[in-house]
Structure 1
Amino acid sequence: GGSGPAPGPGAGVGETRRSGRPPRAVWHARPGPWWSDELARAVAATLASGRGALVVVPDGRAAARVDAALTALLGEGRHALLTADAGPEKRYGQWLAVRRGSVRAVVGTRAAMFAPVRDLGLVAIWDDGDDSHSEQHAPQPHARDVLLLRAALDGCGFLLGGWSCTVEAAQLVESGWARPLVAGREQVRRAAPLVRTVGDGDLARDEAARAARLPTLAWQAVRDGLKHGPVLVQVPRRGYVPRMACDRCRAPARCRHCSGPLEAQDAGASRCGWCGREENAWHCPECGGFRLRAQVVGARRTAEELGRAFPAVPVRTSGREHVLDTVPGTPALVVSTPGAEPVAEGGYAAALLLDGWAMLGRPDLRAGEDALRRWIAAGALVRPQGDRGTVVVVAEPTLRPVQALVRWDPVGHAVRELAERAELGFPPVSRMAAVSGTAQAVAEFLATVELPPDAEVLGPVPIPDTLPGRPRRTGGPPPREHWERALVRVPPASGAALASALKAAQAVRMARGSGEPVRVRIDPPDIG
């Protein structure tokens, strides 16, 4: 049924370990809070087979949930928790216990991917699409890739779990390297909430939406949900001051004097975020429109608007500065940024996913995948539709990620994305490296590197202006907006040769003392 825990990977891990076959699975968890219990069962089954286990999760809140599940299942002292919140002294003590073999099960955040677990029998990762799994410092490893290597080198089991599905996970299944663990469609439908959409056409006809950004359907969902429990409101950005855009074509609104972004002020006025001048006679250079709209309203501003609309209901916010872990099951409005959604006791009665166009409109190859992952993560905290759980997403309903959310089919979305990546030659179907720096530095680097014969160089092209208004520095690397980026693409079989060639070229540049830096990254996550 839809009210019990989803069939998970725990039982199968011990059985396959005893049979001598290392299990490799991609697990698509059903909506609900039981995923941490299932991971704990997989760890317990591995320990029962006489081998160690390692679980990597994206943040401290997820680690705490798995930690609690492991403690309840195994008892105190049977596993180590490796997170930054523990502090250096405690974390080092835990690390030594793992190194000495006195503890053979580890759960932690990104850095735990290197934990020296003795006789490793299982490596597991939850929500591999989360940005927190990608290390930003050289050599910029991703926890999923490190665990894949450890599974191959140690001959141990591998488990990738999540509510959603990345293209990398879909490729593991398509290649036959891993097997899928997916609940039946009837089970998924019973466990998932009802998903309703509000598109551009609905917003254009909705007077309430034009006046307050929230369509009538969303207000109704909030009002009905508050009769039964808390309501979650997901906002794409934190903070208060929104950037402005054209109401007709949604082109970003810029100041006429310095081209800085316009920001909303009180009483409907707008002001430049760079020079501070007020703008009273703006018109859009793209379509000629003269009406402005908030591009993305922050979590605090949304909380204030909802608080005025529902004055008798408490409003809680969860974001970067203050992240809530749990909220009671009593009626309340919970405004959260993506990834900071607290778990509600008994589940949320409803959820609003606002400004979906802002998440889908990012110039990023993963924009659709990432938006769907964030939506499903929020929707998974909502009660099943049999218990009146409802999700309203404000996004164009014809778009593929929105349709995947309505059907609750992240696997199908990932499979189609993977097929398109194969046609375009993008990772993970190919291996790709990004070479960034000044135009001269990139040109010199590409001229000296000995690329594999089947390598294809795309670009270079200017890097988009990601640091607007930053003053030019007199020393050090130039601002990123003056940099260029070239992409080097090779078939998967030539990935190792490409990495070796780029590494050798970088070593030569460093030995010669080249002044201008060149940054190299394999399979960059931000290909636009």
Structure 2
Amino acid sequence: MSSDDEPAERDGGGPPEQLALIRDSVAEARAKAAAEEKARPRTWRGVPQAAHLPVARVVVNKGVLHLDRPFDYAVPEHLDQEARPGVRVRVRFGAGKGRVREGRREGGGLVDGYIVDRVAESDYSGPLAALAQVVSPEQVLTPQVFALTRAVARRYAGSLADVLQLAIPPRHARAEGRPSPDPLPPPPAPEPGGWSRYPAGPGFLRELAAGSAPRAVWTALPGPTWPEELARALAAALASGRGALAVLPDGRAAARVDEALTALLGPGRHVLLTAESGPEKRYAQWLAVLRCSVRLVVGTRAAMFAPVKDLGLVALWDDGDSAHSDDHAPFPHVREVLELRAVTEGCGFLLGSVSCTVEAAQLVETGWARPLVAARETVREAAPRIRTVGDELLARDGAARAARLPSLAWETARDGLARGPVLVQVPRRGYAPRLACQDCRTPARCTACAGPLEAPDERELRCTWCGRPETAWHCEACGSFRLRAQVVGARRTAEELGRAFPQVPVRTSGRDHVLERVPDAPALVVSTPGAEPVAEGPGYAAALLLDGWAMLGLPDLRAGEEALRRWTAAAALVRGDGQVVVVAEPTLPPVQALVRWDPVGHALRELAERAALRFPPVSRMASVTGRAEAVLAFLAAAELPPDAEVLGPVPLPGRRGEPSPGDRALVRVPPGSGAALASALKSAQAARLARGVPAAEAVRVRIDPVDIG
């Protein structure tokens, strides 16, 4: 055979036209096979999968940073209708040899989660595990709450799962099975009422009722009317056909607003979300909000995530109260969360208090919110008279010495009892934990280890550090042998006032037993800060604010601000013609601000000082705690913003003579770099956790810590 008779290409080839036909045939066969495969019902272990959007993206209830993302799961055909975005599900989520097996067939135990989306395809190339169970068809994770919780997790360098645990209450099947009440039509716009005392108050209500979204910082006048005024603001937003939300620091304050709303709007238009309601009732009320049966929510800290649809107003009362800072990771603050809601949901914002925090003053100074304040003449008419006296000026008569009160305070209590109840605020509860020299106030120290002394049985002294008894103590500064309590608690003060005023009933209110109200009758009411009961009628006839130096002397950046907040909260319970005596150094700025009843001026001065020192809220700050070596290694590995400044680490003080719990470093950045700082710290923490970190090398990250020291 000649070479001309041989095929053009020996390797199975052929003419170009023939090769093209072969390629087209192969492509057509492959496309047909792919179409048949796509049309064939998907199965997992023999279970058919959903034909439409067969992949569910699930946020699992695992609050660890290196797992902070949705995971893809196959949707079985029999769960196709129930597995909607927002429902609770159970999925298999396991770990092997320290690594999470995402979507593997053989994976771990059942964990709870939420479906956040349904998609057609998964980014994961391996076989997907299927949803094990749809716990409930109720879509509890709404798109608004999902967006809010993601923003909070980013803001505080936390995990989405942790924030979802704070936002969505535990399920109660019996409550979920009951229908929610039918929604009521919007009420008419309320009259201004007490808001007429504020020049911009009626206009603020009109804007809310008209559907606008005003933002304001409200410095409330002293007196018992603030719950009624807050209720009118919430009712104005409700009158526009929108929802409203108010967060209060504790159940007692929430109950007062609840009463005011019921009196203004009648029952059935709002719900009260507090821990005191119990799990079933609270979940039923939360569901009523989710189902749009109720559009108005009043509650404590967890209510900041309430799923109110079409928000018209978010309101916060007394943002300086520590109860507004969540003590669970990632430690969000109600004020910041409500600010996020105001921006992302386009609603009004109202921050109210009888005092003023530095953060509130900054909102006004930056123009983000406008002030709602009364004229100075109105303030002077509503506020009680404030008088000051140094702690060293004791009464000259025997009764006053027994009560350890300066003469002015003793006389004020005596005169006030002739007209009604008298409030006595003491910094701490219980018997005195620390002792000092009676004459010069030098702290009493152990001669062996210099630890603080205490007298638990009021007879024998002993050291709180080493436990050694001290039988021959004398003051090294002045030589005196007389001791006094540095801080006298509510129980001890009540006993001593009872001896000084034997014919007057004495009542105490503190952490273990908090009174809500006291009658309008002569009585001495001894309370710790934040536990002051409301006096019926016009209010207390007088108030004594004792041991003011103890609050002002706290080693904290907010000591002055916090002391003024506690004093104004107590003094605001006193009637306008009453008198308040504060036992503290009269020349100190917080004391002078109380005398003038000018919390806003004090907050502005504090803001200017913090701006000069580059302290929060002018800057953003994060704390990193742990062993010093672990803190330094963590910060070295973190890709901090270039303008970040690291302060420390330094040892944290121990409590009651205990060793230091660890070291703390503060990372400070200027405005605009807060998001970058949170992202860097979260990424560094996630990387450490993914590698596995021994307990001794663990660190704790907190964004914008409340107690800076």
TM-score greater than 0.5 by the shorter chain:
yes
State the shift of 1:281 in Å: 2.0
Choose from 317, 337, 347 the match for 1:126.
317
Instruction: Judge conservation of contact 1:25–1:159 (CA < 8 Å) in 2.
Output: yes
State the shift of 1:31 in Å: 0.5
CA offsets 1:328-365 (integer angstroms, 9 cap, x no match): 01100000000000011121011000000000000000
State the shift of 1:207 in Å: 8.7
Q: 1:287 to 1:458 in 2, by over 3 A?
A: farther
How does the TM-score come out when normalised to structure 1?
A: 0.92
Instruction: Judge conservation of contact 1:17–1:49 (CA < 8 Å) in 2.
Output: yes
Between Structure 1 and Structure 2, how many residues are aligned?
A: 513
Choose from 410, 430, 433 the match for 2:599.
410
CA offsets 1:124-178 (integer angstroms, 9 cap, x no match): 0000000000001111000000000000001100000000000000000000110
- Asked whether 1:461 is paired with 2:650, we answer yes
CA offsets 1:288-343 (integer angstroms, 9 cap, x no match): 66543211011000000011111111010000111000000110000000000001
Choose from 272, 277, 288 the match for 1:86.
277
Alignment of 1:258-297 (within 5 A): 259-264=450-455, 269-273=460-464, 277-284=468-475, 291-297=482-488
Q: 1:216 to 1:5 in 2, by over 3 A?
A: farther
Choose from 371, 376, 383 the match for 2:563.
371
Instruction: Please give the alpha-carbon distance, in whole angstroms, between the structure 2 residues aligned to 1:81 and 1:142.
Output: 20
Instruction: Please give the alpha-carbon distance, in whole angstroms, between the structure 2 residues aligned to 1:344 and 1:142.
Output: 30
State the shift of 1:264 in Å: 3.3
Instruction: Please give the alpha-carbon distance, in whole angstroms, between the structure 2 residues aligned to 1:205 and 1:423.
Output: 45
What residue in structure 2 maps to residue 7 of structure 1? Answer: 197
What residue in structure 1 maps to residue 613 of structure 2? Answer: 424
State the shift of 1:245 in Å: 2.1
- Asked whether 1:198 is paired with 2:385, we answer no
Q: 1:124 to 1:5 in 2, by over 3 A?
A: closer
Q: 1:399 to 1:268 in 2, by over 3 A?
A: farther
Instruction: Judge conservation of contact 2:394–2:401 (CA < 8 Å) in 1.
Output: yes
- Asked whether 1:400 is paired with 2:581, we answer no
State the shift of 1:261 in Å: 3.0
Q: 1:382 to 1:255 in 2, by over 3 A?
A: same
Instruction: Please give the alpha-carbon distance, in whole angstroms, between the structure 2 residues aligned to 1:27 and 1:351.
Output: 24
What residue in structure 1 maps to residue 544 of structure 2? Answer: 352
Instruction: Please give the alpha-carbon distance, in whole angstroms, between the structure 2 residues aligned to 1:366 and 1:464.
Output: 18
CA offsets 1:357-380 (integer angstroms, 9 cap, x no match): 000000000000000000000000
Q: 1:15 to 1:485 in 2, by over 3 A?
A: same
How does the TM-score come out when normalised to structure 2?
A: 0.69
Choose from 649, 674, 685 the match for 1:495.
674
What residue in structure 1 maps to residue 688 of structure 2? Answer: 509
Q: For residue 301 of structure 1, give the secondary structure of its aligned residue in structure 2.
A: helix
Q: 1:63 to 1:10 in 2, by over 3 A?
A: farther
More off after superposition, 398-407 vs 257-266: 257-266
Q: 1:227 to 1:519 in 2, by over 3 A?
A: same
Quick one: which amino acid aligns to residue 169 of structure 1? A
Q: For residue 180 of structure 1, give the secondary structure of its aligned residue in structure 2.
A: strand
State the shift of 1:483 in Å: 1.1
What residue in structure 2 maps to residue 314 of structure 1? Answer: 505
Quick one: which amino acid aligns to residue 558 of structure 2? R
Q: 1:174 to 1:24 in 2, by over 3 A?
A: same
Instruction: Please give the alpha-carbon distance, in whole angstroms, between the structure 2 residues aligned to 1:339 and 1:258.
Output: 36
CA offsets 1:190-230 (integer angstroms, 9 cap, x no match): 11111111114535999977664211111101110000000
Q: For residue 368 of structure 1, give the secondary structure of its aligned residue in structure 2.
A: helix
Instruction: Judge conservation of contact 2:209–2:238 (CA < 8 Å) in 1.
Output: no
Quick one: which amino acid aligns to residue 282 of structure 2? R
Instruction: Please give the alpha-carbon distance, in whole angstroms, between the structure 2 residues aligned to 1:84 and 1:333.
Output: 30
Q: For residue 435 of structure 1, give the secondary structure of its aligned residue in structure 2.
A: strand
What residue in structure 2 maps to residue 473 of structure 1? Answer: none
Alignment of 1:135-214 (within 5 A): 135-200=326-391, 202-203=393-394, 212-214=403-405
Bigger relative contact order, structure 1 or 2 (CA pairs below 8 A, ≥6 apart): 1
Instruction: Judge conservation of contact 2:209–2:236 (CA < 8 Å) in 1.
Output: no
Q: 1:4 to 1:80 in 2, by over 3 A?
A: closer
More off after superposition, 457-466 vs 120-129: 457-466
State the shift of 1:272 in Å: 3.2
Instruction: Judge conservation of contact 1:10–1:39 (CA < 8 Å) in 2.
Output: no
- Asked whether 1:449 is paired with 2:641, we answer no
Instruction: Please give the alpha-carbon distance, in whole angstroms, between the structure 2 residues aligned to 1:434 and 1:394.
Output: 34
Instruction: Please give the alpha-carbon distance, in whole angstroms, between the structure 1 residues aligned to 2:535 and 2:429.
Output: 20
Instruction: Judge conservation of contact 1:195–1:391 (CA < 8 Å) in 2.
Output: yes
CA offsets 1:100-124 (integer angstroms, 9 cap, x no match): 1110000000000000001001000
Instruction: Judge conservation of contact 1:234–1:352 (CA < 8 Å) in 2.
Output: yes
Quick one: which amino acid aligns to residue 493 of structure 1? G
Instruction: Please give the alpha-carbon distance, in whole angstroms, between the structure 1 residues aligned to 2:299 and 2:632.
Output: 41
Q: For residue 498 of structure 2, give the secondary structure of its aligned residue in structure 1.
A: helix
Q: What are the ranges of 5 or more consecutive residues in structure 1 without an aligned counterpart?
A: 470-478
What residue in structure 1 maps to residue 574 of structure 2? Answer: 382
